[in-house]
Amino acid sequence: MTASTTKPAGKKVTCPTCLDTFVWDESEPLEYSPRDGKYKPAEPPAAGNPEKEKDARRRWYVRCPNPSHDSPEHHLPVMYADYNDPLVVALVGRPRSGKTHLVVAMIRELLHSPAAGRAGLRAHALDYYQHVTFKRNYLDPFENGQRLPGTRNEAGTYLASLVVECGQVKRPLVFFDVAGEDFRNSENTRLTRFLVNAGALLFVEDAPHVFRNSAEERDLRDDPSLTGPVRATNEFVWEAVSRLPSGGRHLPTAIALTKSDRLRYVRPVDRWIRHDPGGQVSPEQLLAESRDLYALLSAGSSSMVKLYHEFERCTMHFVSATGSAVANDDRFPVGIRPLRVLTPLLALFAMSGVITGPQVDLVGR
């Protein structure tokens, strides 16, 4: 490889898959073959043509050394080292709370919605082949109105190579969504280790667990916890909070009430769930929404109101990833219509410095 295509020696990066930090070395780049799913040594173009070198580099990978030796072999795009470490958004919530649908809806909006553009955001895939797989397994079924499978008991990241740009800010964005029950399993320390490297937190609670009259027959059949005594405490969330490292309370935090479409005729939910902010980041509106959700959760005796006081900067949001409930055939009969899913992400971007401006410092305060 020529010197012009390599990154300066000694740069340290954090892998979004295993979360290990290591010294970057792309002296032995690899190329991925989708035909056989294998990586092979790359063949650099002839020296002297910077454009060809740049184009070739977009398709190269390096094998992560995984110093902890606790993950299966995995690779990173060579372009990953062109950016600062990623913003890791940790998604935390109970099983079947809609976390998977929410993160897929967020990514869909970030990539394709006019609202993201109006917020000054641009997003693209850093790892082309990984994004193709993500699109096939999650985005396309979601677009077609199919119910998505829950988080599998593995590394838990659905998209580790999205790049978000806003003005001069360019950062990889990683969503980690680990199965809720894994927070209560002491043997799954690797799966929950992402909390240590999280740059922002997104806590999820679903409407049926706060207001049982919003639960539908399918909910009651799939989730045994909805048929037992009302339990206001979300133990999955509090287990995750207890595992946060020192200083974790300083992390930008958002709380999302998923499946809020079930409460569309309830005040003050109706005010918010029917209104699309269109990419606007307004500290005043975010505070008003937080106050309304706080009051609603207080009326439902939810412990999520206590969570609001655990962090220095926090916002609360009414969201619906699909806009309606799933039918017995695992499809959404009227298709999917995400409601306000971009709003908590924009709030996290404002609190983490991705979105800048004269008033963003007021978000979450």
CA atoms within 13 A on the CB side of 217: 2
Q: What percent of the chain has pLDDT over 90?
A: 51
**The token pair that represents 273 in the structure block:** 């769930």
Q: 82 lies in a domain?
A: no
C-alpha to C-alpha distance for 313 and 174, rounded to whole angstroms: 20
Same domain, 177 and 280: yes
Read off the pLDDT of residues 203-260 as tens digits, 9 standing for 90 and up: 999 998 888 778 777 777 778 777 766 655 677 788 888 878 777 899 999 999 999 9
Residues 343 and 304 in one domain: yes
Domain match, 60 and 93 both:
no
Domain limits at 234? 87-362
pLDDT of residue 237: 84
Q: Is 128 or 184 the better-scoring residue by pLDDT?
A: 128
Residue 98 has pLDDT above 70, yes or no: yes
- Quick one: CA dihedral 152, 220, 208, 263, positive or negative? positive
In a domain, 20, yes or no: yes
> In this predicted structure, what is the pLDDT of residue 50?
84
Instruction: From 16, 50, 77, give the residue that closes a domain.
Output: 77
Q: Mind listing the pLDDT tens digit for each residue in 69-94?
A: 988 899 999 999 998 888 989 888 88
pLDDT digits (tens, 9 = 90+) for 6-64: 555 679 998 887 888 999 999 999 999 988 989 999 988 877 788 888 888 888 999 99
pLDDT band with cut points at 50, 70 and 90 for residue 122: very high
Residues 168-180 have pLDDT tens digits of 999 999 888 765 5
| Residue-averaged pLDDT of the chain | 86
Is 84 or 336 the better-scoring residue by pLDDT? Answer: 336
Question: Are residues 251 and 325 located together in one domain of the fold?
Answer: yes
Task: Give 300-320 pLDDT, tens digit per residue.
Answer: 778 889 899 999 999 999 999
Decide which of 56, 77, 98 is a domain's last residue: 77
Mean pLDDT, residues 118-125 taken together: 94
| Angle ∠(127,132,138) on CA atoms, nearest 5 | 115
At 255 the pLDDT is 97
What's the pLDDT score for residue 188? 57
Q: Could you say which of 26, 50, 77 is where a domain stops?
A: 77
Tens digits of per-residue pLDDT, 268-297?
999 999 998 999 999 999 999 999 999 999
Phi, psi angles (nearest 5°) of residue 232: -80, -15
Q: Are residues 301 and 174 in the same domain?
A: yes
Same domain, 70 and 102: no
**For the domain that residue 102 is a member of, what is the CATH number?**
3.40.50.300
Whether a cis peptide bond, with omega within 30° of 0, leads into 50 is no
Q: What's the pLDDT at 195?
A: 76
Q: Please tell me the predicted confidence (pLDDT) of residue 158.
A: 46
What is the band of 182 on the pLDDT scale with cuts at 50, 70, 90? low
pLDDT > 80? residue 193: no
Residue 80: both structure tokens together: 């990953």
> How many CA atoms within 13 Å lie on the side-chain side of 12?
5
Mean pLDDT is lowest, of 107-111, 194-198, 357-361, for 194-198
Indicate whether 203 belongs to any domain. Answer: yes
* Proportion of the chain above pLDDT 70, given as a percent: 89
Domain shared by 55 and 98, yes or no: no
Burial class of residue 245 in the structure, from the number of CB atoms within 10 Å of its CB (0-12 exposed, 13-18 middle, 19+ buried): exposed
Rounded to an integer, the average pLDDT of 349-365 is 94
Q: Are residues 157 and 120 in the same domain?
A: yes
Give the strand pairing for 253-258 and 314-318: parallel
Confidence of residue 160 (pLDDT cuts 50, 70, 90): low
| One domain for residues 7 and 142 | no
Does 155 score more than 70 pLDDT? no
Q: pTM here? A: 0.90
Token pair 């209560």 is found at: 184
Structural domain count, the chain: 2
Is residue 139 located within the same domain as residue 44?
no
Buried b or exposed e, range 257-292, using 16+ CB within 10 angstroms: bbbbbbbbeeebbeebbeeebebebebeebbebbeb
Residue 2: the pLDDT is: 43
- On whether both 129 and 254 belong to a single domain, the answer is yes
For residues 29 and 126, state if they share a domain.
no
150/183 Cα distance (integer angstroms): 15
